[in-house]
Structure 1
């Protein structure tokens, strides 16, 4: 493994961890507070805006770095080996996480524009819960991918 490969892997893991961490934080900290009315629309709007930035940047960076990693080690065996299947599974989960993050954030943003908090948080909750499950599944997939086979 070259220094460039190590750097790409490190950046990939860093952005994946920040993205999944922000999804879980929104799910277990921000949304419950908003659903209870403990947050005003302004702070919720700021959280949502920052979350969208993190999610979008992380989606792009993990796509690029993951593509680099796949091209350098898995492209010849994507559909014929267990490790290749794990990579394909990771791409599917990545797509799901990106979609769920975007939809959940859009549901929050729609309501905060109208200065509402409880209803948008309730509307976004199923998407963030699903995104949290997908985030955990991504880490399980990544753990299986780095395990010695």
Structure 2
């Protein structure tokens, strides 16, 4: 399977005082605000690090679901939070926090599936940074 997805960013002005927008092909993001404040302080809009966190948590969680399904397991719920650390101009760490509910599996097996998903997730493979994972199985 091969496909291409697109997004567009537009920026006007300087890095500190300018403003921009981001839009996605699906229009889920449609001229969503981007600015210095939304990236480095608090403000209405999004930022690249937040979008990376969203992409990574979504990709990883779907990958885990595929792996569990291939093993004949049906996840009742998988919840992943991606924490993207930006430090001195570099993304230095992404920590994935996973909790899940999957019948017929123990904690050790769940963690093994999660680790495999982290390793083969297309977004994980794309990112050139340390990626850590904590996983727990809920009742």
TM-score (norm 2): 0.31
TM-score (norm 1): 0.29
Query: As a proportion of its length, which structure holds more strand?
Result: 2
Query: As a proportion of its length, which structure holds more helix?
Result: 1
